[in-house]
Amino acid sequence: MPYFDAASSLPLHPVARQALLAALDEGWADPARLHREGRRARLLLDAAREAAAEAVGCRPDELSFTSSGTRALHIGIAGALAGRRRVGRRLVVSAVEHSAVLHAARAHEADGGVVEEVPVDRTGRVGVDGFGAALRGDTALACLQSANHEVGTEQPVAEVAELCAEAGVPLLVDAAQSLGWGPVAGGWSLLAAGAHKWGGPGGVGLLAVRKGVRFAPPSPADERESGRSPGFADLPAIVAAAASLRAVRAEAADEAARLRALVDRIRARVPELVPDVEVVGDPVRRLPHVVTFSCLYVDGEALLHALDRAGFSVSSGSSCTSDTLTPSHVLRAMGVLSEGNIRVSLPPGTTEEDVDAFLAVLPDAVRRVRAHLDAPAVPPRSGSGPEPVRAAEPAAGPAPEEDAEAPSLTVDSLGKRCPIPVIELAKVIDRVPVGGTVVLLADDEAARLDVPAWCEMRGHEYLGADGHTHRVRRRA
C-alpha cells in the first residue's frame, strides 16, 4: 500500500530502528549525572552529536538536539532575535516558510517586533533581489527554507546567504525537507530540522547555531543542550535520529536520481491523464521526491479520501483539508489554484510500479469527485498536450466602472465551500455575453485564490474582489 506522504513523516529507517533498540539499554540515564549510567548515556549523546554535526556540516558544540524541528525553529528564531535585539526587531521571512516559522513570526509581532514577508514567484521561489532588498540596518534575523515543504521548490539559499553576510544579518535555514538529501550549501548562521523527515523518530529535532552568532536562549533557563532545549530528552531516539541521518545520506545520491525520474513521470503524465490540472512548483530546481498539483472543480478532501480508499496516502493544501478552512499559505503566496490540491511525496524505495498504480487510479478518482459535485463539463482541448497555465493578459478594455452598461449576472455562493463557488461560477459564465460580467458572492476563503486562478485557466478576466463580491468578465 504505497504511502506517498514522505514530506510529512517517514517510517523509521531500519538503521534507526536498530540504533534505537541498541540504545534502549544504555541510553535511559541522565547524561548530566556523574555515575556510570550517566557517563554511558553521555557517551551515546556525544557520539550522536558528532554524527549529526558532521552530516549538518558544523561543529558538535554548535549543535543542540531539540524535541522537534518545530521547536528547533521556535527556539532558533526567538534566540537569534533576542541575541540581536539591540540591532533591531525586524524579522525577514519568505512568504512560503513552514507554519512553525510563520507562527514564530506572529509571536514576534505580538511582542512588538516587525515582520517582513518576502514574496515568491509562481513556482514558489523567493527572489534573491527581493530578499536582499528586505535586509535593512535594523534586521535582526532572516529566515529561508532550503526547499518548500508543499511544492518542493528549492530556494536560493546560497545566494541569499551571501546577501545576508554582506548585510551582517544572520540567516536561519529551515532545512527540514532537504537535510536527508544533503548538507545545506552556503554560509548559513542557524539551521533547523526534524528527524522524522529523514526516517528518524518523532520527537527529535536539531538546531545548529554557528559560533559567533549572537544568541540568547529563550527563557526559562535550563542547563541541557547549551541552554537551548530544556528538559530530559529521549536519548535512544536521538541516537536513532543521528544514525538514520547517516544512513539516508549514504543512499541519498542514488535515491534522489531514482525518485527525481519518478516525479518527472508524475509531472508529465498527470496533466495528460486528468483534464484541468495545474502542476505547481519549480519543475527542475526542486526536491527529488515532491510533486504537487491542483484539480479544478475538485474537493481536496474528497479526492484525498478517494485516493486513500484506493490505497494511496497523500496530503493536500486545499482549504477543506485544513482546520481553519483556509487554503495553504504556500499556494496562496504562489497565486495558484488551491482546490483539489494534492501533494505526492515519495518515500525512499518507491517503485515505478507504485507510481504507475497511482497514475492508473488518479483519473477515475478525480472524475468521480467531479461527478459527485456535478462539476461542469471540461471544454475540449485546443492543442495536443498540456500547456503551462499562463497569466491572463492585463485587461485592455475599459475599467470595470466604465462598463456598467454591460450585461451582468449575480451568483450567490455565500456559505458554500470550495470548490462549489468556482463550480457555480463556471456554470453561469456562458449565460452572459462576451464582455459581460458575473458577480460572484462567495465568503469561502479559497475563492480569493481559486476564482482568479480559474479565470486564468479559462481565459476570463478577473476584475477583483470587494469583500465577498468577486467580479469576473467573460472573455471569448
Our separate counts of H helices and E strands in the chain read 12, 14
Residue 315 sits in the site that holds a copy of itself (CB under 8 A): yes
3-state helix, strand, coil in the chain (%, to 5): 40, 15, 40
User: Cα separation of 245 and 251, whole Å?
Assistant: 10
Q: Which of residues 436-455 bind a copy of itself (CB under 8 A)?
A: none
- Sorted by sequence, the CB contacts under 8 Å of residue 287 that are 6+ apart come out as 7, 147, 152, 154, 177, 178, 181
**The binder of a copy of itself chosen from 5, 251, 403, 443 (CB under 8 A):** 5
Residue 14 sits in the site that holds a copy of itself (CB under 8 A): no
Is 418 assigned a catalytic role?
no
User: Cα separation of 105 and 353, whole Å?
Assistant: 42
Residue 290 sits in the site that holds a copy of itself (CB under 8 A): no
**The binder of a copy of itself chosen from 19, 48, 52, 69 (CB under 8 A):** 69
User: Cα separation of 395 and 401, whole Å?
Assistant: 13
- Judged by CB under 8 A, which stretch of 138-146, 228-236, 242-250, 383-391 contacts a copy of itself? 228-236
Residue 46 sits in the site that holds a copy of itself (CB under 8 A): no
Residue 112 sits in the site that holds a copy of itself (CB under 8 A): no
User: Cα separation of 178 and 234, whole Å?
Assistant: 24
Residue 132 sits in the site that holds a copy of itself (CB under 8 A): no
With 0-12 / 13-18 / 19 or more C-beta atoms within 10 angstroms meaning exposed / middle / buried, residue 103 is middle
Catalytic-role residue among 58, 143, 295, 320 = 320
**The binder of a copy of itself chosen from 60, 87, 95, 103 (CB under 8 A):** 103
For residue 139, give the H/E element and its range. Answer: strand 139-145
- Judged by CB under 8 A, which stretch of 70-78, 375-383, 412-420, 423-431 contacts a copy of itself? 70-78
Q: How far is CA 339 from CA 148, 151, 217, 318, in A?
A: 19, 15, 41, 5
**The binder of a copy of itself chosen from 79, 236, 281, 288 (CB under 8 A):** 236
User: Which of 114, 109, 185 lies closest to 147 in space, CA to CA?
Assistant: 185
Number of residues that bind a copy of itself (CB under 8 A): 64
Three-point CA angle 343, 344, 349, nearest 5°: 155
**The binder of a copy of itself chosen from 150, 234, 276, 282 (CB under 8 A):** 234
Are the C-beta atoms of 464 and 401 separated by less than 8 Å? no
Q: Which of residues 192-221 bind a copy of itself (CB under 8 A)?
A: 194, 196, 201-205, 219-221
Half-sphere exposure of 411 (CA within 13 A, CB side): 25
Residue 404 sits in the site that holds a copy of itself (CB under 8 A): no
**The binder of a copy of itself chosen from 91, 140, 147, 237 (CB under 8 A):** 237
Shortest Å distance, C-beta 374 to a copy of itself:
24
Residues taking part in catalysis = 320
Residues forming contacts to a copy of itself in the complex (CB under 8 A) are 1, 3, 5, 8-12, 17, 20-21, 24-25, 28-30, 33-38, 67-71, 74, 100, 103-104, 106-107, 110-111, 194, 196, 201-205, 219-223, 230-237, 301, 304-305, 308, 313-315, 321, 323
